[in-house]
Chains A and B, each alone.
Chain A
Amino acid sequence: MPAVSKGDGMRGLAVFISDIRNCKSKEAEIKRINKELANIRSKFKGDKALDGYSKKKYVCKLLFIFLLGHDIDFGHMEAVNLLSSNKYTEKQIGYLFISVLVNSNSELIRLINNGIKNDLSSRNPTFMCLALHCIANVGSREMAEAFAGEIPRILVAGDTMDSVKQSAALCLLRLYKTSPDLVLMGEWTSRVVHLLNDQHMGVVTAAISLITCLSQKNPDEFKTCVSLAVSRLSRIVSSASTDLQDYTYYFVPAPWLSCKLLRLLQCYPPPEDGAVKGRLVECLETILNKAQEPPKSKKVQHSNAKNAILFEAIALIIHYDSEPNLLVRACNQLGQFLQHRETNLRYLALESMCTLASSEFSHEAVKTHIETVINALKTERDVSVRQRAADLLYAMCDRSNAKQIVAEMLSYLETADYSIREEMVLKVAILAEKYAVDYSWYVDTILNLIRIAGDYVSEEVWYRVIQIVINRDDVQGYAAKTVFEALQAPACHENMVKVGGYILGEFGNLIAGDPRSSPLVQFNLLHSKFHLCSVPTRALLLSAYIKFINLFPETKSTIQEVLRSDSQIRNSDVELQQRAVEYLKLSSIASTDVLATVLEEMPPFPERESSILAKLKKKKGPGAVSSTEQEDGKREGGELNGGGERGADSTIAASNASTPSPSADLLGLRSSGPVSAAPPSAGSLLVDVFSEAGPAAPAAAVNDDGFLSSAPPSVVSEDPAPPMPQSDELLHKFVCKSNGVLFENQLLQIGVKSEYRQNLGRMYLFYGNKTSVQFVSFSTSVTYTGELQSHIHELSLNVQTKPVEPLVEGGAQVQQVINIECLTDFSDAPLLNIKFRYGGALQNLTLKLPVTVNKFFQPTEMVSHDFFQRWKQLSQPQQEAQKIFKASHGMDKEVLKGKRIMENFVCAGVIQTKAQQVGCLLRLEPNAQAQMYRLTLRSSKDTVSKRLCDLLAEQF
């Protein structure tokens, strides 16, 4: 037991804490806490006014109870009283309680704001700092509304103390993050940028975080910070280790600030001004040189500080990706770190190298370290480091070293930590597919994968191997032979049985010539596993058996006997029973011809994005899949799958309504069993592998004349009607069109004209009365659907409508103007509700207003080099969205203005919203033969990529 502190007061608190510590059981602790809570509650409620000291003591106790994980639902009012006190200590604890315990929705915010306002105007720097801390830590919308105007003034005022300036900078940053619309820049932009030149390093430290964030959102307005940051950095880097006094940390001048400056520069492309660029390159070289100098201190803090700067410098070099000389030096430096005795450095080196591997200048240089990395994978004691090594191997893999890397990863898998096995399996599967030159190697690898780590092989992986085997004639025989051999192992994983069942059912005939794998031997082998398997696998095996009957008539009687046995035909599982019954009947009734047609070999699968890649993207956040790989993957995925698109999957999917099991589609037959009650989601169909929208056509039967026939006038309610079923279709008509007829039925025609400039749009709606009778009480309203309001207080669109005349004469047309301001990106369109009375009956219809995010596009001119550089920068998986789809209008149409490069179209543009500008890059690759398109969108915001991809894919 460590020495007990003497304390500087608050004995009650000390006693309470020690009581809690002495509690022998959880129950005793809870009891003691409840007692204390009751005590405090009664003290707070009591008639006797509490003095500041008691309040402080009780608030401290509440904080401690909160720390132990108990909800605190009172005491806030006392905390507010404390923070309004004139005593520093009371004020301090009051603010602390509020910052720790109040969430941003509290109703007390108004009272708190009042206290803050007083402190901000107090001119007492300590009080001002406390108030600013509180704003920054709570950061609610209400606080932003109250103080967003005040704080910039404090920040740039000449007479503000340095410590207050520091707090004000970070406070503003927090408000900008929570409510960017309230923090108006403009007049103070340049003064904030010039804080980089401030004499007080603490002010620079705080300001640089603010500037970095603002630059990310508004790069153009803050462009001037680049040259200031470079000169500041250069001054720090070239200063002697004693120049910066307090900011020198173990002989390294201002390490934290240097890192932040290098981070800021990563928001921008290399400086265009030659002098600035020269100075920066000089800095980077100095930093690289310093890494080679002997250390000035043996302390780990010294090397940490030095290397923190070095890693940021390397990150900047990689970001610029334009100085081959520096890139190679960076790579060599990281290579040294790979064998450093500090585990932290090895970890960081592996991580940085991952990004370096995707640069064309340094990819080869990274590859030279392959042995070291493999060694790290094998020998590192720390799983975090091993994981980084596995990531790097994945990133550095190309055709030349794929076999070696895959083999190493496979052998590592046998001993890998359970936590990373699934990811490793996905990576091996992807590499094997991507770099497969001969597909026998691919099949071997995947089967090995199942053998070694069967439990971690997700469905996507084994679906994928089957897709590929089905699509490649040349590997089918080999696959059949290999699975047959694999199944002979005494204990084999259920996933192996699944793959084996499927492949032998399809291609068992290819190895049936060999007496060692004659049809009956194959069947007996499969059936020997049957009893050990789960129901879905058994169902798959039954389907394989019926396929056997078609492939090998000589097995018919044996298989029929199996199907006829009680354990099948009377199986308690309805799915198995149904299959047994149906297959038995099918095999005995159908003629050979019918059987051969029904049980024909599966057609090739259409090309889609690799399901495994999609899964890895979902599983891993950024950095898991680098851009070049993705492109490669797809290019090769295309050739792998043979690009066939017979569209077989849709019929299969439809046929499965009654037999929802993984192997129903093995047969592709339209079974019409009586068990339609089986839940349709019970099994996952092979076709479901494709992550994009399923092939099933939307069932919504659209009635042509809109609401009239569907809703008799008498029951139309006053509430806005739900959007009409065809409103989505109507919306898609207007994605690339600004004028036209939005809607028409027997009564009403609605025309649209719209224009957009930057983040603003104006839309004219024309309501035409097609009848000869007047519409009365004509009114319209625009509402948002849920998604637009998903962030509390954060509207994506600001829509203003002008009211329309309530009377529309027969045959007349009224016009309505709608002003739209795009605040942030959005995916759902606003809803337009129209209500009027026609002959006394209320008409109520809701449409989607044709406002889509692409309307706020501004085209950008870009040379191809720039385009691809940016394309590469947007390499994180979630920044990309892709769709492959069939051309619906033929291939001659060029919808968007773009540059033609080789075989694909690219375009670039910026989505203008009030909050930020989102740069978007688009790539459209037509495949004239298959009449298919592949559309890829990349943007700095994942929701934007996704939405644009969805929208534009409908347009070709």
Chain B
Amino acid sequence: MIKAILIFNNHGKPRLIRFYQYFAEDMQQQIIRETFHLVSKRDDNVCNFLEGGSLIGGSDYKLIYRHYATLYFVFCVDSSESELGILDLIQKMYEKVCLSLQVFVETLDKCFENVCELDLIFHMDKVHYILQEVVMGGMVLETNMNEIVAQVELQNRMEKSEGGLSAAPARAVSAVKNMNLPEIPRNINIGDINIKVPSLSPF
């Protein structure tokens, strides 16, 4: 069983976390820190397996991880999973995430092999959905990436058809593009520039 999937960057900042066993919030953060500590001190060309930290279950669990540029993808699994199998799964998932983020970010000149960290956090929900098609309740649901692509594309189509969300792409783009420039005031009042969408009846 997969106990947790953790994605964090080279500084230990979590970028996506998913636990398939209940841990309290602060424990989740402690586990991330411990895992980062264990994984980050390892060279890049050593093996991809190591024993889990004490918080997540110690030597009964293995951390299987891959390091891509600025991101670590870590799966914490018990002894019932094949190490190499999970390693391949991480690779497949990564490729899938890259592929679909490319669709979202539309920067086609970008190197395929290098999913950028920002893309990941700006599309956290998308990455969650991809993950959801691969792993469910800690077990692997589907390994065929084409099937997963089909599922995600189906979702995208449904999203498009519902509209409303991509109402103001142009303004969104400019806002995002400028966001690292110092002139932009820190605390934009979000309420003022809210996109007007016909309001739905209250729930």
User: How distant is the Cα of A304 from the Cα of B91 in the complex, in angstroms?
Assistant: 11
- Contact (A60, B125) CB under 8 Å given A67-B15, A206-B142: yes
User: How distant is the Cα of A35 from the Cα of B164 in the complex, in angstroms?
Assistant: 27
A133 at the binding interface (Cβ < 8 Å): yes
Contacting B at CB under 8 A, from A19-35, are 19, 22, 32, 35
A948 at the binding interface (Cβ < 8 Å): no
**Smallest CB-CB separation from A212: which chain B residue?**
B80
User: How distant is the Cα of A52 from the Cα of B70 in the complex, in angstroms?
Assistant: 34
**Smallest CB-CB separation from B168: which chain A residue?**
A11
Q: Which residues of chain B come closer than 8 Å to A346, judged between CB atoms?
A: 47
Q: Which residues of chain B come closer than 8 Å to A15, judged between CB atoms?
A: 175-176, 179, 188, 190
Q: Which residues of chain A come closer than 8 Å to B193, judged between CB atoms?
A: 11
Q: Which residues of chain A come closer than 8 Å to B16, judged between CB atoms?
A: 67
Q: Which residues of chain A come closer than 8 Å to B144, judged between CB atoms?
A: 201-202, 246-247
CB distance from B92 to the nearest CB of A (A): 8
User: How distant is the Cα of A750 from the Cα of B172 in the complex, in angstroms?
Assistant: 80
User: How distant is the Cα of A39 from the Cα of B191 in the complex, in angstroms?
Assistant: 9
Q: Which residues of chain A come closer than 8 Å to B140, judged between CB atoms?
A: 205-206, 209, 256
A139 at the binding interface (Cβ < 8 Å): yes
A171 at the binding interface (Cβ < 8 Å): yes
Tell me if B172 and A9 are in contact (CB < 8 A): yes
B79 at the binding interface (Cβ < 8 Å): yes
A4 at the binding interface (Cβ < 8 Å): yes
User: How distant is the Cα of A117 from the Cα of B60 in the complex, in angstroms?
Assistant: 37
Q: Which residues of chain A come closer than 8 Å to B107, judged between CB atoms?
A: 3, 5-6
**Smallest CB-CB separation from A266: which chain B residue?**
B80
Q: Which residues of chain B come closer than 8 Å to A88, judged between CB atoms?
A: 155, 158-159, 162
B50 at the binding interface (Cβ < 8 Å): yes
User: How distant is the Cα of A392 from the Cα of B181 in the complex, in angstroms?
Assistant: 57
User: How distant is the Cα of A6 from the Cα of B102 in the complex, in angstroms?
Assistant: 11
Tell me if B176 and A167 are in contact (CB < 8 A): no
Interface size class on chain B is 35 or more
CB distance from A185 to the nearest CB of B (A): 18
Which of B22, B83, B92, B165 has a CB less than 8 Å from the CB of A104?
B22
Q: Which residues of chain A come closer than 8 Å to B183, judged between CB atoms?
A: none
Render A97-131 as a binary contact track against B, CB cut-off 8 A, 1 for contact: 00010011000000000000000000000100000
A796 at the binding interface (Cβ < 8 Å): no
Which of B89, B142, B167, B173 has a CB less than 8 Å from the CB of A7?
B173
Stretch at the interface among A318-326, A381-389, A671-679, A832-840: A381-389
User: How distant is the Cα of A11 from the Cα of B85 in the complex, in angstroms?
Assistant: 38
Q: Which residues of chain A come closer than 8 Å to B87, judged between CB atoms?
A: 304, 344
Stretch at the interface among A235-243, A306-314, A857-865: A306-314
Tell me if B132 and A133 are in contact (CB < 8 A): yes
Tell me if A92 and B155 are in contact (CB < 8 A): yes
A173 at the binding interface (Cβ < 8 Å): yes
Tell me if A311 and B172 are in contact (CB < 8 A): no
A896 at the binding interface (Cβ < 8 Å): no
Q: Which residues of chain B come closer than 8 Å to A381, judged between CB atoms?
A: 43, 46
**Smallest CB-CB separation from B143: which chain A residue?**
A256
Q: Main SS of the interface on chain B? A: mixed
Tell me if A621 and B154 are in contact (CB < 8 A): no
Tell me if B164 and A53 are in contact (CB < 8 A): yes
**Smallest CB-CB separation from B167: which chain A residue?**
A9
Which of A3, A54, A81, A170 has a CB less than 8 Å from the CB of B141?
A170
Contacting A at CB under 8 A, from B27-41, are 28-29, 32
- Contact (A100, B124) CB under 8 Å given A8-B166, A22-B186, A89-B165: no
CB distance from B114 to the nearest CB of A (A): 8
User: How distant is the Cα of A181 from the Cα of B117 in the complex, in angstroms?
Assistant: 44
User: How distant is the Cα of A828 from the Cα of B138 in the complex, in angstroms?
Assistant: 32
CB distance from B22 to the nearest CB of A (A): 5
Q: Which residues of chain B come closer than 8 Å to A344, judged between CB atoms?
A: 47-49, 83-84, 87
A301 at the binding interface (Cβ < 8 Å): yes
Tell me if A171 and B136 are in contact (CB < 8 A): yes
Tell me if B128 and A9 are in contact (CB < 8 A): no
CB distance from B54 to the nearest CB of A (A): 11
Tell me if B50 and A11 are in contact (CB < 8 A): no
A136 at the binding interface (Cβ < 8 Å): yes
Output the residue of A2, A11, A51, A311 with the most chain B CB within 10 A: A11
Tell me if B200 and A259 are in contact (CB < 8 A): no
User: How distant is the Cα of A69 from the Cα of B49 in the complex, in angstroms?
Assistant: 26
Q: Which residues of chain B come closer than 8 Å to A886, judged between CB atoms?
A: none
Q: Which residues of chain A come closer than 8 Å to B89, judged between CB atoms?
A: 256
Tell me if B143 and A347 are in contact (CB < 8 A): no
Q: Which residues of chain A come closer than 8 Å to B20, judged between CB atoms?
A: 137
Tell me if A7 and B122 are in contact (CB < 8 A): yes
Tell me if B136 and A133 are in contact (CB < 8 A): yes
CB distance from B163 to the nearest CB of A (A): 10
Which of A12, A22, A201 has a CB less than 8 Å from the CB of B194?
A12
Render A53-94 as a binary contact track against B, CB cut-off 8 A, 1 for contact: 110100010011011110110000000010010011100110
- Contact (A12, B190) CB under 8 Å given A69-B14, A126-B155: yes
Q: Which residues of chain B come closer than 8 Å to A54, judged between CB atoms?
A: 194, 197
- Contact (A202, B142) CB under 8 Å given A1-B180, A308-B85: yes
**Smallest CB-CB separation from A201: which chain B residue?**
B144
Tell me if A301 and B91 are in contact (CB < 8 A): yes
A668 at the binding interface (Cβ < 8 Å): no
- Contact (A170, B139) CB under 8 Å given A6-B173, A8-B166, A103-B22: yes
Tell me if A49 and B201 are in contact (CB < 8 A): yes
Tell me if B175 and A202 are in contact (CB < 8 A): no
Tell me if B179 and A305 are in contact (CB < 8 A): no
Tell me if A384 and B175 are in contact (CB < 8 A): no
User: How distant is the Cα of A163 from the Cα of B32 in the complex, in angstroms?
Assistant: 32
Tell me if A173 and B139 are in contact (CB < 8 A): yes
Tell me if B17 and A67 are in contact (CB < 8 A): yes
A180 at the binding interface (Cβ < 8 Å): no
Tell me if B85 and A173 are in contact (CB < 8 A): no
User: How distant is the Cα of A732 from the Cα of B17 in the complex, in angstroms?
Assistant: 49
- Contact (A4, B118) CB under 8 Å given A10-B165, A133-B136, A201-B144: yes
Q: Which residues of chain B come closer than 8 Å to A64, judged between CB atoms?
A: 121, 124
Output the residue of B82, B154, B168 with the most chain A CB within 10 A: B82
User: How distant is the Cα of A346 from the Cα of B83 in the complex, in angstroms?
Assistant: 13
Q: Which residues of chain A come closer than 8 Å to B92, judged between CB atoms?
A: 249
User: How distant is the Cα of A49 from the Cα of B200 in the complex, in angstroms?
Assistant: 8
Tell me if A51 and B125 are in contact (CB < 8 A): no
Tell me if A343 and B45 are in contact (CB < 8 A): yes
A16 at the binding interface (Cβ < 8 Å): yes
Q: Which residues of chain A come closer than 8 Å to B121, judged between CB atoms?
A: 17, 64
Tell me if B88 and A305 are in contact (CB < 8 A): yes
Q: Which residues of chain A come closer than 8 Å to B194, judged between CB atoms?
A: 12, 54
Q: Which residues of chain B come closer than 8 Å to A7, judged between CB atoms?
A: 104, 122-123, 169, 172-173, 176
Q: Which residues of chain A come closer than 8 Å to B18, judged between CB atoms?
A: 100
Render A615-654 as a binary contact track against B, CB cut-off 8 A, 1 for contact: 0000011101000000000000000000000000000000
Tell me if A126 and B88 are in contact (CB < 8 A): no
Tell me if B124 and A67 are in contact (CB < 8 A): yes
Tell me if A209 and B139 are in contact (CB < 8 A): yes
B10 at the binding interface (Cβ < 8 Å): no
Q: Can you list 20 A-B pairs with a CB-CB distance of less than 8 A? A: A2-B119, A6-B169, A6-B172, A6-B177, A15-B179, A53-B195, A67-B14, A68-B14, A69-B26, A69-B28, A69-B32, A81-B203, A89-B159, A100-B18, A163-B147, A206-B141, A246-B146, A382-B46, A620-B59, A621-B59
Chain B: residues with CB nearer than 8 A to chain A? 14-18, 20, 22, 24-26, 28-29, 32, 42-43, 45-51, 58-60, 79-80, 82-85, 87-89, 91-92, 101, 104-107, 110, 116-119, 121-125, 128-129, 132, 136-147, 151, 154-155, 158-159, 162, 164-169, 171-173, 175-177, 179-180, 186-188, 190-191, 193-195, 197-203
Known A84-B203, A347-B47; 18 more pairs at CB < 8 Å = A2-B116, A4-B180, A6-B105, A6-B107, A6-B172, A7-B104, A11-B195, A52-B200, A60-B125, A88-B162, A92-B129, A202-B147, A311-B83, A381-B46, A382-B42, A621-B60, A622-B59, A624-B59
Query: Which 3 A-B pairs give the minimum distances between C-beta atoms?
Result: A136-B137, A49-B202, A2-B116
